[in-house]
Amino acid sequence: MKATMLRLAAVAAVALSAQAAVAETITERLDDRNYFADGKDAWDKVCARCHTTVDGKTDQSVGPDLSQIEYDADTLKHFVRNGHLAMPAFSASHISDATIVEIADYMAKNIYKGE
């Protein structure tokens, strides 16, 4: 009986340590800081692939010229999370809410040119 309890305790310890390792991996995956240094980095790696910012003069542009459209963080979050037309939706495991705010801030200061 005592040996059985010791074996069960050992199995439980191994299972708990494995669960902790999985939880740590998931947490790392959800922290997009592993992928993006800041809003500009996220813009360069994700947004700029499809959006032109030079008055619509980039031939490879799929999305609209964002230098002519001003988005606040909530509006940008809506488009990022839900997608729009050719734009796919990005979940929080791809781009965090904090990074969306940083992208919106970067766009307001560096991309948006106004009318």
Task: Name the catalytic one among 1, 3, 5, 86.
Answer: 86
1 catalytic? Reply is no
Rounded to an integer, what distance in angstroms lies between the CA atom of residue 62 and that of residue 81?
Answer: 18
The per-residue b/e assignment along 51-83, b for 16 or more CB within 10 angstroms, e otherwise, is bbbeeeeeeebebebbbeeebebeebbebbeee
87 catalytic? Reply is yes
Rounded to an integer, what distance in angstroms lies between the CA atom of residue 3 and that of residue 17?
Answer: 21
Tokens of 50: 């499809």
Task: Name the catalytic one among 48, 87, 92, 98.
Answer: 87
Which residues are annotated as catalytic? 86-87
